[in-house]
Structure 1
Amino acid sequence: MPEFRTLDDGNFAGKRVLLRVDLNVPVKDGKVTDATRIERVVPTIRELSEDGAKVILLAHFGRPKGEPDPSFSLRPIAPAVEKVLGRRVGFAGDCVGEAARKAVEAMSDGDVLLLENTRFHKGEEKNDPDFARALAENGDIYINDAFSAAHRAHASTEGLAHLLPAFAGRAMQDELEALEKGLGKPAKPVVAIVGGAKVSTKIDLLTNLTHKVDALVIGGGMANTFLAARGTDVGKSLCEHDLAGTAKQIMIEAAEAGCAVILPSDAVVAKEFKAGAASKTVAIDQVPADAMILDVGPKTVEVVNQWIDRA
């Protein structure tokens, strides 16, 4: 893996640090219900703040389609970050322009500021150079600590890295070092577990993994696409049916490379996706037409555990 710079390689005191984090956390009735992602990035925030940096948090939340939408505002997230961090976290009503500039100018060394949702601007997901430059105007240094969003070449995850001195945060460093341990020169057998909703965002990743690992466990919504490509009826489940051909090709390449593809053999299904919905466990070829797959079943868990125990 190519060398990358970490917090150990920079001097951040007195600098405006644009820190990209993943704060796309579950929220109900305006309250964060799971702070795990916040907890993952707090060590980097705290270290930079204690070093005297002006810590400016960049993040996205949901899919607001490139324009401001109050239901996707990061404002309710600031108190949750503040609670985990144990110190005040300011908030600016935009991530660029006058609102962001004034909020950054008002910061003292060690302060933490959360800017509004980067996806409130179309330039974010388009990785627009002008939008990236507008973000960069408020920073001296760029640090990426959002590993879970790093596969997307957006302005705040990729464009900024070309405009400012760039470093990996502690969470990003941990993930990259784990990848090197698992894919650089690993002890065999190697098992990769990949989840998420979409195959379309991970085609290259999945293809590359089939040539590097001994078993590829596919879960989450993307497992449904592979199951459907194999001819299994997945009912109303989240599924990219138009990518059946791609899924088939990945399975063919895996077989040729000697990589076992592990898909669910049983599943927990329900007729609606909501808390408390009635559910049942069925064999994967017995999914009702009016139901959706929401989790793997115990037999699948057992198979995955057996592979993990061997790894």
Structure 2
Amino acid sequence: MASDPGRRGPLDGVPLLGARHITAGERWIFSAGFNVDPALTSTGRIDSELADLRRLAESGARVAVLSHQGSHRDNSATALDHAAAHLTRRLGRPVRYVPENASDAAVRTAEALAPGEIAVFGNTRHHAGEERNDPDLARRFALLGDRVAVGGFSKAHRAHASNTGVLRLLPGHAAESLVTEVRFLAPWAGRNDGLSSAAVLGGRKPEKTLVGLVHAMRSYDLVVPGGVVLNTVLRALGHQVGASDLGSRPDACLDAVRKVLDTPAKARLHVPRTVWTAPTDGGRITGAARPTAVADGVPADHAVVDFDLEPWAAESLAGADRAVLAGTPSRYLDGQVRSSDAVLSALSRSSGRTLLLGGDTVAELPWAGPVSTGGGSALELLATGTCAVLDALHDNARAGTGGHGPADDDVMDGVST
């Protein structure tokens, strides 16, 4: 079924921050997605919020920024002082860093912000309840302001306390970064039988399988799995994968792949004949990679680190009218570049549209074309036409969660993906 250009768009009816008049002294929570490492390897997820933060500050708003970096589950959550320092440099005004975010002291700090002042509060993922969308934690976050601007498209697919949770309590508006990404993704969204399409899915995150692979097999002409997605596909097909990385949700991903393989699909699935395997210890490569026939299986003490792209798949990628690359196909930063380089070479020969998705993908691979810092959120939007934050903003608008200003009725019309 071809996409319907007349269907309702994901932002229809959602109040936009850019359309709202800001009054000096208003208290705003800005829900961002500053999932950027302290070395600031790639700052796109911070820089995408600069225009709205600058407008809020110049209009005299008092802004409490809530964001995350890393995860509570694996103790990788760090302080966000580097984000505050980067904002200070880019905005040309002091941006405070407040290590706490849900304490009484944090609330008092937010209440004491001066008009035009911005403060980045502590990493929301220091709390176990953030990723569980704990309502009590959301209530604590909501005390930091009177209304919410939701940016952070990279986490728009996650129903967390600092984005969808606070939207149950305070009036919400879509920040420009969210609106821009949704509109930008329109050319790659939906199924269009008049265009040949391809999806390359890699990396480690389970949504590349649970959302990306499941959707792509129904909507694209070619799907090339890499990374954990490939390892899971090989396992589902009955091949031995040794010590290969199967991600954080191996059972759920394996079930999803088996269902995909048992269901008629539009896409042709690329399964390589040869993978490259290396001895590993705790996920670390400890020896040289070697070619291994998939049919022979991966030795128990080895892991798949790369694969050979079949020539027919390279030609299909080069001829695609639109293509999406979400997740690095190989262990690229460990020097395993065969499949990634082959995919990028093929895509560079294409005259169609190619898009790279995800912060890690964009940071790791040499690509000068269009990119989106949203990985899982972009996949979910392309797959379903919506995501958790958009659903929450729609619910918020329908519920009339208080605080409508003079321009709050200005909404996005006619944005269709």
TM-score (norm 1): 0.80
State how far apart, in whole Å, the 1-side matches of 2:227 and 2:180 are: 23
Residue 159 of structure 1: which of 161, 165, 188 is its match?
165
Partner of 1:104: 110
User: Does residue 74 of structure 2 align to residue 61 of structure 1?
Assistant: no
Instruction: Give the distance between the partners of 1:136 and 1:85, measured in 2 at CA.
Output: 25
- Alpha-carbon distance in structure 1 between the residues aligned to 2:217 and 2:76: 42
| Whole-Å separation in 2 of the counterparts to 1:163 and 1:284 | 55
Deviation at 1:94, TM superposition (A): 1.4
> 2:292, 2:265 → 1: CA distance?
28
Q: Judging changes above 3 Å, is the alpha-carbon distance between structure 1 residues 51 and 221 closer, same or farther for their aligned structure 2 residues?
A: farther
CA contact (8 A) 2:202 2:226 kept: yes
Measured after TM superposition, the shift of residue 235 of structure 1 is: 3.7
Distance 2:275 2:51 in 1: 39
Relative distance call for 1:300 and 1:62 in structure 2 (3 A) is closer
User: How far apart, in 1, do the equivalents of 2:293 and 2:28 lie?
Assistant: 48
How many angstroms apart in 1 are the aligned matches of 2:195 and 2:236? 29
Provide the rounded CA distance (Å) in 2 between the counterparts of 1:127 and 1:102. Answer: 23
Structure 2 residues without counterparts, runs of 5 or longer:
1-8, 306-330, 354-417
Q: Which residue number corresponds to residue 266 of structure 2?
A: 258
Work out the CA distance in 1 between the residues paired with 2:204 and 2:72. Answer: 18
Deviates more, 1:261-270 or 1:244-253: 261-270
State the Cα distance separating 1:262 from its structure 2 match: 4.1
Matched residue SS, 1:167: strand
**Offset, 1:113:** 0.8
Higher relative CO (Cα under 8 Å, sequence separation at least 6) belongs to 2
2:140 pairs with 1:140: no
- Note the alpha carbon deviations across 1:24-53, whole angstroms, 9 max, x for none: 2223xxx43433332333333233323332
Distance in 1, matches of 2:224 and 2:230, equals 9
Question: Which aligned pairs between 1:218-297 and structure 2 lie closer than 5 A?
Answer: 218-240=225-247, 241-242=250-251, 243-253=253-263, 256-262=264-270, 266=275, 271=280, 280=289, 282=291, 285=294, 289-292=300-303, 293=305, 294-295=331-332, 297=337
Distance 1:24 1:278 in 2: 32
Match 2:342 to one of 302, 308, 311? 302
Counterpart among 11, 17, 23 of residue 28 in structure 2: 17
Q: Over residues 184-230 of structure 1, what are the superposed CA-to-partner deviations in whole Å (9 max), with x where a residue is unaligned?
A: 47561233444442336852454234333333343443332223323
Change (3 A) 1:188 1:94: same
Give the stretch that moved more between structures: 152-161 or 222-231: 222-231
User: 1:169 — aligned with what?
Assistant: 175
Equivalent of 1:180, from 170, 186, 191? 186
Q: Which residue of 2 aligns with 1:207?
A: 214
Contact 1:266 1:297 in 2 (8 A): no
Aligned mates of 1:299, 1:134 — CA distance in 2: 46
For 2:196, the aligned partner's letter is P
Say if 1:160 and 1:195 are closer, same or farther in 2 by CA, change over 3 A: farther
- Name the stretch that deviates more: 221-230 or 104-113: 221-230
| Structure 1 residue runs without a partner (length 5+) | none
Q: CA deviation at 1:244?
A: 2.1
Specify the code of the residue in structure 2 equivalent to 1:213.
Y
Amino acid at match of 2:37: P
Change in Cα spacing, 1:195 to 1:7, as seen in structure 2 (3 Å) is farther
| CA-CA distance at 1:58 after TM superposition | 0.8
* Residues 290 and 107 of structure 1: CA distance in aligned 2, closer, same or farther (over 3 Å): same
Matched, 1:26 2:33: no
- TM-score normalized by structure 2? 0.62
Deviation at 1:238, TM superposition (A): 1.9
Structure 2 counterparts to residues 40-51 of structure 1, below 5 A: 40-51=48-59
User: Residue 167 of structure 1: CA displacement?
Assistant: 2.1
